[in-house]
Amino acid sequence: MAVREIQTPLDETTIRSLRVGDEVFLSGILVTARDVAHKFMVEKKPAFLRPLLRGAALYHCGPVMRKERGRWKAVSAGPTTSIREEPYTADVIQNYRVRAIVGKGGMGPRTLEACRRFGAVYLHAVGGAAVTLAQRVVHVREVHMLEEFGMPEACWVFEVDNFPAVVTMDAAGASLHAEIAARSHTALERFLGRAIR
C-alpha cells in the first residue's frame, strides 16, 4: 500500500499502477453525477460531456451548493452510495473514458470488469465527512443540467485540491468490497455451522 498524489487528466499508466489499499490525494477536475445524470449519459450520449469526462474523475455526489457574490460554493459534498449506478457505470467508463469513479460502498462485477478492461479505478471517499470534503473543492468551474435535473442531480464541475480517497477497486481486477463480502460470508457460515447460499 502506498500514498499517491494524482492529478487530472488521469492517464492509463498512472491508473494501472494503483492498487487496492493505496491512499490517494486527487487534484484537478472532479465531476459530480448521480442516478439521473448516469441515465442521461448512457441513453442520450451527450457530446458536450465527452471532452469534460475524458481522463477525469466522476464523483457519486449530490452536493449542497450556495451562491456567494455570484459564484457557486460547495457547502456539503460527501459521497453517495455507488451501487445504484452499477447498471450504467461500465458504459460510462467505456464511452467517456472516465479514469476514476469516486463514491462510497463500492460497486459490482460489471464495473470491476470495465475498470480492468479500460483502465479505471474506484476510489472510496469517507462517508459522513461531507463538509470536510467540500473544503477540498477550491473552485466550481461550471454546472451542467442544473435547471433540468436540480441541484443534487446536476453535473457540477469541481476543481479539487488533495481530495482524499482510498483505492478499493483497481484496474488489475481486485476489489476490496468483494474480498470483504467473501470473508464475511465464510465467517457467517462458520458461525452458523452450515453452508449458506
Known catalytic residues are 38
DSSP state of 167: E
Give phi and psi for 49, each to the nearest 5. -85, -20
What's the grid cell of residue 121? Answer: 479505478
Q: Of 63, 56, 123, 143, nearest to 92 (Cα)?
A: 56
Give phi and psi for 9, each to the nearest 5. -70, 135
DSSP state of 93: H
121 and 15 in contact (C-beta within 8 Å)? Answer: yes
What whole-number distance in Å separates Cα of residue 138 and Cα of residue 151? 19
What whole-number distance in Å separates Cα of residue 141 and Cα of residue 29? 9
What's the grid cell of residue 66? Answer: 450556495
